Amino acid sequence: MEQLNQLITSQAILLFCYLLGSISFILGLKMLSHPDSARKGNLVAAVGMTIAIVATIFLYQKGGEHLHNYGWIFSGLIIGSVVGTMAAKKVQMTAMPEMVSLFNGMGGACAMLISIVEFHNNANPSMGMLLIIVLGMMIGTISFAGSIIAWGKLNGRIKDKTLPAGQIINFILLGAIVVMAVLLMGNFIDAPWLMYGILLAAALYGILFVMPIGGADMPVVISLLNSFTGVAAAFGGFLYNNPVMLTGGILVGSAGTILTILMCKAMNRSLKNVLIGSFGGAKAGPAGAAKEQGNYKEISLNDTAVLMAYAQKVMIIPGYGLAVAQAQHACHELEKVLEDKGVEVIYGIHPVAGRMPGHMNVLLAEADVPYEKLLEMEDANDQMGTTSVVLVLGANDVVNPAAKDDPGSPIYGMPILEAEKAEHVIVNKRSMKPGYAGIENDLFFRPKTSMLFGDAKKVLQDLVSELKQV
């Protein structure tokens, strides 16, 4: 009786810790929706996860026995914590997207390994249990393989490659996965190699379905793979009857799915078109061939300073080039100098600017730019007509008028920040090299546009010095 009471007590405490963890995830996710509370929300969710992990290690029981092999458990926790902390502290903002992809891939790999372990630990699993194991392994493997390819493409190690009949190969792989899963669950063939056949086919599918996707679509792909990892983790929650894993997986899966849909809407494209269209990957055909452009004109730092100093409203449009130059703090300094001169300064944020969802928001938040100055695309476009000067910092495809004017362009139909509606447009770039989608930007050759070449950080620092003398 005493042992039963102890068991009931420990299980009650464990369930209470799981409840705390689940609530912390929900609260943390809610707080992540606003930059002012995002840091605190991240800490709240981390505390909840810590409680759930510690409770599982010391209170979880199966068959009346506690967990053992504490040496292995804590070795893994310590090594993972040290490596993760060091990587997160050292990573530059420009490398944040590939780190997100890498970490997401590790989550998928974890779900995959859980399914493999449980497949071998259950001698006679029910069909429902087997279905959960197979789905968790399949989705986790696709997320892992796809995330690693996305990581390689984001840091330039892997180039876009489209295999001949690639879509047919993907459909064959999916069909093979379904057939092997049916054979395994129906016990038509009692062979462990079927499980590893599914694993191999899922890994190949994850590689092949991400490989041809172009750079401009990577924010969507990252969101989609993130949702895959969440779903795979949720299946792990089912396997272990663990409410925290289930809640966390459902939250990540649903949030990733919603974000994927929003990203597709921001690009005016369907998810199917993203996955099979290779937008930004293969070069445009004859319909999207490069057209004859006029001449662009340059502007000096002094003229830029005078133009901005006497403007009524300046809108800054940041892009990946700003992150590459680590110029967010210099940008904030420019904002403060202009406001001291009575100029209204706002920021236009495109939802797919950068290499991952929210990249520009995170970048500017790091420099303490007030959140209320960050305008979403629709609000920014509403104010574009009353803006004296638009300063484009390292952005390219998200301000390209070809998205509206050129039906032959690969980005045609994608909503953009309509910078050309402002009185003056100044574009800061290192060179005239095309953006991540690999196409020329019509905006650079428009009559209102002037090019200000150079590294964004140095240009902004010099511009601040010029403004102080105006």
Point out the residues that are catalytic. Answer: 397
CA distance 225 to 232: 11
H or E element that contains 387:
none
Token pair of 246 as six digits: 């289930």
CA distance 32 to 23: 14
The DSSP secondary-structure symbol of 283 reads P
Cα dihedral 448, 449, 452, 456 in deg (nearest 10): 120
Taking alpha carbons only, the member of 439, 395, 156, 437 closest to residue 287 is 439
8 Å CB contact between 403 and 412: yes
What's the angle, vertex CA 434, arms to CA 433 and CA 435, rounded to 5?
Answer: 120
What's the angle, vertex CA 439, arms to CA 435 and CA 445, rounded to 5?
Answer: 90
CA distance 310 to 343: 8
The DSSP secondary-structure symbol of 438 reads -
3-state secondary structure of 346: strand
Sign of the torsion formed by the C-alpha atoms of 464, 382, 423 and 344: negative
Token pair of 139 as six digits: 């989705």
What's the angle, vertex CA 103, arms to CA 101 and CA 107, rounded to 5?
Answer: 110
In the beta sheet, which residues pair with residue 315?
A: 346, 390
